[in-house]
Each structure stands twice: as C-alpha cells, then as structure tokens.
Amino acid sequence: MTDDKDVLRDVWFGRIPTCFTLYQDEITEREADPYYLLLPRISYLTLVTDKVKKHFQKVMRQEDVSEIWFEYEGSPLKWHYPIGLLFDLHASNTALPWNITVHFKNFPEKDLLHCHSKDVIEAHFMACIKEADALKHKSQVINEMQKKDHKQLWMGLQNDKFEQFWAINRKLMEYIPEDSGFRYIPFRIYQATTERPFIQKLFRPVAPGGQLHTLGDLLKEVCPTAITPEDCEKTIQVMIHGIEPMLETPIQWLSEHMSYPDNFLHISIIPRPTD
C-alpha cells in the first residue's frame, strides 16, 4: 500500500503560496510591504501566521493593533476552517499567489470567532477530532486514548510533524475488518454560493449488501445538485485538497486518506471555470 501512504504525505505537505497585504485603512508609521508565505493546506490561519503578524506590527503603533483577522475579496476568512478548504472554496480558480488582506481593527463579530490564543485553536481542533470519532467509532477509539496521545495529535499539527501525528492518527483510521469501514463518515460539504454553512449528515460507507459507497453516492444522497446528469456539461467542481477525486472513489478510502488532520473530509462544491 505504498501508493496510499504517499497520498497521506501529499495531503499533509500541500502548500498554498500566499501574499499578505495590510488593509489600506490601517494606520501605519511607514509603508507596509506585503508578506509572502507558503501556507500549509491542512492547518489553520491563526496557527501559522505569527510571522505575518510580527511583520505588520513592526510598522504600526501598539495602540492601533488589536486582534488580527484575514479577509479575501471582502469576505472575512474563518480561521477555524482549514486553510486548504478556504482556498478551494474562495480562490482555487484564481491566479496564484492567493492575495489575503490583513486587518487589525474592526473585528467582524458576526462572521468570525475570536482566537485569543493557540489554546483556542487546540480546543477547536480536538473538538473536531472528537466529533469525527463519535461518528466513526462511537467515540470508543478517542476515549481509549490517553491525554498524551491527544496532545501528540495537536503537537504534530502545530509543529508540522507528519510521523508524530500519524503515529496516533492511524488508530483513528482503523476499523474492525468485519465492518468494512467506519460507522459513519465524517464529512462536510461547502458551497460558496449558498448561505448555509455546510452540509453534514449521517452517511454509511458501506451499503447493506456490502458494496462500498462512493463519493458520487454521497453527493447523490446529501447534495444532489452537485451531480451533473451524464450527457450534460459539467458546471461544478467537487474539490478536496485542490483536486477533483473521481466520483467512483470509495468514500471509505477518501475518509482514510484525504481527511484533514481533524479527521473530517472537507469538500468544496464550486463553479467550474468557464474559460
């Protein structure tokens, strides 16, 4: 299964070249240069932008700086969504680098959660993992782990340590062979065009007859508008980690290999570019 392990690495090490520019109305003592950074797809904005913050704070007065937040083309970016999801959903068909605007004022309370410390990110990350395991294993696997194992998942993400993370995460990807898969698949489907935050429902990876459900089966069940009839022109893209997996891919395999570190499959439904 060497190829499958490669997928885990490709997912983990995916990066998005990003250009951070300070919002024009922020008060600076001198001109702020843009800051370029390769963002890990699997991480969270507030976890990986300490350097961005420092860079812009150097040209600002302390009193003009409060909580940092990020925006793309007028939309505040939710730091608690993985970076790769934000990019796929908002900017995947635009030219690189991804241009993000940095703000230090007027925090949009209605759109964003606060992130006063790394502890908040850790709590959110662990809550997602626990929710995912509640769906996959009725929480049995996560509950059997010790606190230090939970900590190792977080440290692996925070320090970009693939081996450290997967030493523990592999247990969350196991299931008893008789079952052929998890109890339910942890997934969320996002569409830029609707106001609904995301679709998340119960979905079994295996049919009663034993056949593996596919990505296409999932979409048909929970998001039928994403399925284009055979002879019609495809107007949408179903994207995970910047690629369009074949709809015939078993959802169990996708869950094991293309979930984010939070153990969820975050799937973007976006308009297909027309050029």
Partner 1 sequence: MARPVYGGRHFRPSCPRSSMAEVQEQRQLLPSPPLSPQDGGQGEGGEDAPETGSSEGGAEPPPPTAGSPGTEEPAGDAKKKIDVLLKAVGDTPIMKTKKWTVERTRTIQGLIDFIKKFLKLTASEQLFIYVNQSFAPSPDQEVGTLYECFGSDGKLVLHYCKSQAWG
Q: Which of the ranges 18-26, 51-59, 191-199, 206-214 carries the binding residues for partner 1, by CB under 8 A?
A: 191-199
Residues 32-61 that bind partner 1 (CB under 8 A): none
Q: Name the nearest CA neighbour of 265 among 176, 220, 206, 205.
A: 205
Q: Does 273 bind partner 1 (CB under 8 A)?
A: no
Q: Which of 61, 201, 234, 272 binds partner 1 (CB under 8 A)?
A: 201
Which is closer to partner 1, CB of 76 or CB of 242? 76
Residue 122 CB, nearest distance to partner 1 (Å)? 10
Helix extents (H) in the chain: 2-12, 45-48, 50-57, 83-91, 118-137, 140-144, 147-158, 162-172, 215-222, 251-257
Does residue 227 contact residue 216 with C-beta atoms inside 8 Å? yes
Residues 118-137 that bind partner 1 (CB under 8 A): 123-124, 126-128, 130-131, 134-135
Residue 79 CB, nearest distance to partner 1 (Å)? 11
Does residue 188 contact residue 198 with C-beta atoms inside 8 Å? yes
Which is closer to partner 1, CB of 55 or CB of 213? 213
Residues 6+ apart with CB under 8 A from 96: 16, 17
Which is closer to partner 1, CB of 12 or CB of 154? 154
> Mask: binding to partner 1, 140-169, rule CB under 8 A, as x and -?
x-xx------x-------------------
Q: Name the nearest CA neighbour of 26 among 54, 71, 56.
A: 56
Residue 155 CB, nearest distance to partner 1 (Å)? 16
Residue 114 CB, nearest distance to partner 1 (Å)? 10
Burial class (CB in 10 A: 0-12, 13-18, 19+), 193: exposed
Q: Does 110 bind partner 1 (CB under 8 A)?
A: yes
Q: Does 207 bind partner 1 (CB under 8 A)?
A: no
Residues 224-263 that bind partner 1 (CB under 8 A): 224
Number of residues forming the site for partner 1 (CB under 8 A): 33
Cα-Cα end-to-end distance for the chain: 38
Residue 76, strand partner residues? 71
Q: Does 203 bind partner 1 (CB under 8 A)?
A: yes
CA distances from 12 to 91, 121, 152, 158 (A): 20, 18, 16, 12
| Contact residues: partner 1, CB under 8 A | 80, 109-111, 113, 123-124, 126-128, 130-131, 134-135, 138-140, 142-143, 150, 184, 195-203, 221-222, 224
